Amino acid sequence: MASGTLDIDLSAITANWRALDAVTPQGVRTAVMVKADGYGLGASPIATRLRAAGAEDFFVALAEEGVALRAALGPGPRIGILSGHMSGDAPILAAHNLTPMLTSRAQVARHLHELPDHPFGIQLETGMNRLGLDPQDWQAVAAEVLARGPRLLMSHMACSDDPAHPLNARQLAVFRAMTDGTGVRRSLASTGGILLGRAYDFDLTRPGIGLYGGAPFADARAVVRLSLPVVQVRALAPGQTVGYGATWTASRPTRLATVAAGYADGLFRALTNRATLYAGSVPCPLVGRVSMDLVTVDVTAAPEDLPDQLELLGAHQGIDALAQAAGTIGYEILTALGSRYDRHYGQVAA
Ligand SMILES: *Cc1c(COP(=O)(O)O)cnc(C)c1O
């Protein structure tokens, strides 16, 4: 096996979804965010599994993603499209029963003109300044839109992973001012919002990263294990250098393993001389530059009988720890995992 192995634990994802669902009172539904192919882990297997666990609401970014998800899920569950109703989407939305979350007055006009009887939701802009109708636009069209029976009024929070950030309460107040009294189902919280407190619940929560084991859901179960095969091992004398640019120099006799994954597989080049891989439980530093298909690892401290694979993600190092080494966030670690891994959907940890 020349490629790395990516184990994705659907039981852990299910446990994380149930745990986040249990944070909110009964009657508050918990959706499943599977945009970007389920944060890179596989939208279809994840959604199918969570559907079996009771999830009824799914969201993706693009209508095209919704088509694939509808094929996996069948006709029942609701699938929301976060980019709303883009030009040319009408036939796809109609054919696959996808619910656009309309983002602007122009989208509202397009949708009501092109698909007047097709379900839709509305995104409201409350402080993130990314997607949605701002308060003035909403005021102008609210009466007309509410008369057409939107399925959901939603907004998204900019700082909900930081409970102390003043924008959280401000966005909550704006959202309430825009939606109180409408009688329409509402949704504000992603993973961070669920953990902020019950004022953010409304009718539907929209966790993503927490399902996949990432911050800010500190109690999440780990979901991924990434094991990378050792291609060869060599001995270096003090003074010898490693990799492109010769950025690392052995200061002592060194055993060096060359491992089959690189920046084309989501091991960011920023991890050069910064990441740790594990030989069993022994931490081994990545040394030298990350190259396209390979990294080099100082395995001097590992047992003589080196395992066939070194672990980059798993029990010893989660996505947030690796993200910190790379100067990014767990979301980007997951969505960057490449297509070359041998993917297994099963149980990662007991
Ligand atoms: C991605 C996304 C979410 C999920 O956010 P997490 O931080 O991953 O829980 C929820 N709502 C919207 C609109 C999103 O784009």
Active site members: 35, 244
Is the CB of 210 inside a 6 Å radius of any atom of ligand 1?
yes
Per-residue tokens: 89? 């989407």
Length of the chain counted residue by residue = 350
3-state secondary structure 76-87: CCEEEECCCCCC
Residue 347 is predicted with a pLDDT of 65
For each of the domains in the chain, give its residue range(s) and CATH number, in order of start: 31-212 (3.20.20.10), 224-345 (2.40.37.10)
Task: Read off the pLDDT of residues 105-126 as tens digits, 9 standing for 90 and up.
Answer: 999 999 999 999 999 999 999 9
Which residues are CB-neighbours of 177 under 8 A, at least 6 positions away?
Answer: 135
Which class for 87: exposed (0-12), middle (13-18), buried (19 or more C-beta within 10 A)? exposed
3-state secondary structure 270-328: HHCCCCEEEECCEEEEECCCCCCCCEEEECCCCCCCCCCEEEEECCCCCHHHHHHHHCC
CA-CA distance, 160 to 196, in Å (whole number)?
7
Task: Read off the pLDDT of residues 141-167 as tens digits, 9 standing for 90 and up.
Answer: 999 999 999 999 999 999 999 999 999
126 CA → ligand 1 middle, Å? 15
Please say if the pLDDT value at position 348 is more than 60.
Answer: no
Is the CB of 191 inside a 6 Å radius of any atom of ligand 1?
yes
CB atoms within 10 A of CB 166: 9
Task: Read off the pLDDT of residues 236-266 as tens digits, 9 standing for 90 and up.
Answer: 999 999 999 999 999 999 999 999 999 999 9
183 CA → ligand 1 middle, Å? 24
